[in-house]
C-alpha cells in the first residue's frame, strides 16, 4: 500500500506522508468513489486502525483527505475515544500535521492562501469551504457535471442518487432548491456538482 500511495499524492509530499504512516497498527486502503465522503477513519475491534480514501481524488484533494484522516487517528491516540469527531482536539491535530505540507513545493501557489485561511479553523469537510473546494476541483478529471451556482433560476437538475430538483433563489450562502417529486425545500452549497436536465422550467 505504501508504494501504491505514491501514485495518488504530490511527489514532494511522499517522504513526509510515509513518516506519518509509520504505525504498525494503522492500515490505509484506497476505495472506489463514494459519493457521500472522500475518506474515513475507523478504530477496529482487533486494536488496529483503518483509513480509507477514495481513488478518484486529485493529488491535492487526496493529500488533504489523507492528513484529515491521519489526524483522526492521532487525536484518538492522544486524547482517547470520547472526543468529538471534529472537535478542538482534532482541529489542533489536523493543523499541526498539515502545516509542513503548506508550501509551494507541494501545492500550487494559487491554492496556498486558500489553504492557509481554511486551516485557521478547519471544518469537518473541505467541501464546505466553497472557495477552496472550487480551487481544488480545477485539478479533477473533466466530467459532465455542472456547479449549482452556474445554473439559472428555474433550471431542473438531477443528483447522483436520481433525485430531481428545481433551482431557486440564493439565500445568504446557499441556494434554495425544491425537490420536484415531494415539493420539499433543500439548501445546496454553491459548489455542489449536479447534472443539468433542463435550463428553464418553460
Locate the domains of the chain by residue range: 2-137, 146-198
* pLDDT at residue 125 in the model: 87
User: How buried is residue 96: exposed, middle or buried, by Cβ count under 10 Å (0-12/13-18/19+)?
Assistant: exposed
Low-confidence ranges of the chain (pLDDT < 50): 201-202
Nearest to 193 by CA among 35, 8, 38: 35
pLDDT reported for residue 127: 86
Give me Rg for the CA atoms of the chain: 19
Residues in CB range of 64: below 8 A, 6 or more apart: 98, 115, 126, 136
C-alpha span between 140 and 131 (Å, rounded): 15
| pLDDT value of position 3 | 64
Instruction: Say what the pLDDT of residue 141 is.
Output: 86
Q: What angle do CA 16, 22, 27 make, to 5 degrees?
A: 110
Q: Do 188 and 175 form a contact (C-beta atoms < 8 A)?
A: yes
pLDDT at 51: 97
| Residue 51 to residue 65: CA distance in whole angstroms | 10
Fold of domain 146-198 = SH3 type barrels. (2.30.30)
Query: Residue 57 is placed in which grid cell?
Result: 481524488
Name the E strands within 47-180: 49-54, 146-147, 156-158, 164-171, 174-179
pLDDT of residue 46: 92
Q: What local confidence, expressed as pLDDT, does residue 145 receive?
A: 80
Amino acid at each position: 500500500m505504501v508504494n501504491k500511495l505514491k501514485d495518488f499524492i504530490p511527489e514532494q509530499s511522499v517522504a513526509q506522508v510515509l513518516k506519518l504512516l509509520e504505525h504498525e497498527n494503522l492500515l490505509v486502503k484506497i476505495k472506489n468513489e463514494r459519493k457521500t465522503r472522500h475518506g474515513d477513519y475507523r478504530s477496529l475491534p482487533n486494536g488496529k486502525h483503518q483509513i480509507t480514501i477514495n481513488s478518484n481524488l486529485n493529488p491535492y484533494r487526496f493529500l488533504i483527505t489523507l492528513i484529515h484522516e491521519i489526524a483522526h487517528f492521532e487525536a484518538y491516540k492522544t486524547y482517547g475515544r470520547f472526543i468529538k469527531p471534529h472537535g478542538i482536539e482534532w482541529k489542533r491535530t489536523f493543523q499541526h500535521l498539515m502545516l509542513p505540507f503548506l508550501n509551494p513545493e507541494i501545492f500550487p501557489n494559487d491554492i496556498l492562501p486558500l489553504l492557509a485561511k481554511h486551516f485557521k479553523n478547519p471544518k469537518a469537510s473541505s467541501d464546505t469551504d466553497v472557495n477552496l473546494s472550487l480551487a481544488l476541483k480545477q485539478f479533477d478529471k473533466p466530467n459532465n457535471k455542472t456547479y449549482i451556482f452556474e445554473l439559472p433560476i428555474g433550471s431542473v437538475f438531477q443528483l447522483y442518487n436520481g433525485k430531481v430538483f428545481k433551482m431557486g433563489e440564493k439565500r445568504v450562502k446557499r441556494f434554495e432548491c425544491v425537490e420536484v417529486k415531494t415539493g420539499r425545500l433543500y439548501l445546496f452549497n454553491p459548489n455542489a456538482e449536479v447534472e443539468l436536465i433542463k435550463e428553464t422550467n418553460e
